Structure 1
Amino acid sequence: MKILFWRSLVIIFVTLGFIGALLPGMPTTVFLILAAWAASKGWPQMDAWLLNHPRYGAVLRAWRENGTVPRKAKWLASIMMLISAVIMLFTHAPLLVKIFTDCSMLIVAIWLWMRPEPVAVQVTAESES
């Protein structure tokens, strides 16, 4: 039953990540990080697949090893949250919902920019020999 729970979470998070890859304003990497976390608890094959994925694997491994987020991902997430916040202001949602949503995205953006960035590996002529 526990494995079914973790695998269900993986499927949900991967699905949300896939939707995020298609829709602006919805994150991809965050859901894939959550999917990798859930997969590590009960689906080793999916965990390995996510960590070795050609597009997202390096980001997921960097997050797992050092909690780092690439600058490009920070910019994309921040821009999408800003666009979503502005769109939210023009909806018919209650004012408290607008304030809560926009403040939540601001807090996430601040937290995101406080995360370290991966260190670029520099290859020099000395290290190659």
Structure 2
Amino acid sequence: MLRRNLWRIAGLLALLLGAIGAVLPLLPTTPFVLLAAFCFARGEPAWHAWLLRHKTFGPLLADWEARGAVPRRAKWAATIMMAASLAISTLLIRSQALWFAGVSMALVLIWLWRRPE
């Protein structure tokens, strides 16, 4: 019971972050919705089913669950947002540690662009 509740809470938190990401340009929506679906599948199957039936997120989640596919539009959005985030961070932070963020983003983008569409 505790484990299911933790999955539910994690799913709700991920879905909330995804909703915030829909209006904030530097916070991605897609990864958080995917995470929410993952958590709900383990903690609350009815909420997982609701996400799969959702008009906006349903097709994205169905493609992901069936083939690990990510739409080209989402790939481009992630690429542009990561590039903008790194550029802004470089201008504002000016830290030597930003190389780690850049390498991490590059690795994520390589993985993302290798996914089917």
Q: Normalising by structure 2, what TM-score? A: 0.94
The match for 2:116 is 116
C-alpha RMSD of matched pairs (Å)? 1.0
Structure 2: 5+ residue stretches without partners: none
CA distance in 2, matches of 1:105, 1:37: 22
Q: Match for 1:114: what amino acid?
A: R
Q: What is the CA deviation profile of residues 68-114 of structure 1, one whole-angstrom value per residue up to 9, with x for unaligned ones?
A: 01111111110111111111111225311x11112111111111000
CA distance in 1, matches of 2:27, 2:72: 18
The 5 Å alignment of 1:23-34 reads: 23-34=24-35
CA distance in 1, matches of 2:20, 2:105: 19
CA distance in 2, matches of 1:92, 1:34: 29
The match for 1:42 is 43
| Greater gyration radius | 1
The 5 Å alignment of 1:101-112 reads: 101-112=101-112
Ranges of 4+ aligned residues in structure 1 off by more than 6 Å: none
Shift of 1:18: 0.8
